Amino acid sequence: MKKRFNPIRDKSSEIIEYLMSSPEIPDDEVLQFKLRLSIEEAVENVVRYAYDGGIGWLEADIHFDQDSLLLTIELRDAGTPFNPLQREDPDVNQSAEDRDIGGLGIFLCKKMMDSIEYRYENGNNVLTMRKKV
């Protein structure tokens, strides 16, 4: 199930709902919470930072492999190359006031999903998140 959104300005909610409404999403509230949080963080990063003013596209894809029980969510955009996984994880033991701003969303994605990978391919940022269901 793949769909391209263009332009992405003001479409975060639409993109998130598109992915979350997929029949591939299991009917498990705890799992849905983890998936929604991860999808929201990843989509918001693209919408806010990939393109100047949100003028650009994002392709969202979701797939469930019946054999491995692996749900895969892939976000692809042609915005500024950026690997969110290169950023050092925030020190969550520090108070919010003492922590550097940013990085918490991707940190949460890493905790909620089984794997997250980034690659820059053919002029596109590709973020792939996987969760065993």
Domain ranges of the chain: 2-132
From the candidate CATH numbers 3.10.20.30, 3.30.565.10, 3.30.920.30, 3.20.20.30, the one assigned to the domain spanning 2-132: 3.30.565.10
Please write the tens of the pLDDT for every residue from 74-123. 999 999 999 988 876 555 555 555 545 545 678 889 999 999 999 999 99
Taking CA atoms, 132 is separated from 48, 65, 129, in Å, by 28, 10, 10
pLDDT at 33: 96
Q: Is the pLDDT of residue 129 over 50?
A: yes
How far apart, in whole angstroms, are the C-alpha atoms of residue 77 and residue 133? 26
Q: DSSP letters along 54-76, please? A: G-S-EEEEEEEETTTTEEEEEEE
The predicted-structure confidence for 49-74, as pLDDT tens digits, reads as follows 899 887 999 999 999 999 999 999 99
CA distance linking residue 115 with residue 64, whole number of Å = 15
Q: Is residue 121 classed as helix, strand or coil in its secondary structure?
A: strand
pLDDT in tens, 17-30: 999 999 999 999 99
**pLDDT score for 97:** 53
Instruction: Return the percentage of the chain with pLDDT > 70, whole number.
Output: 86
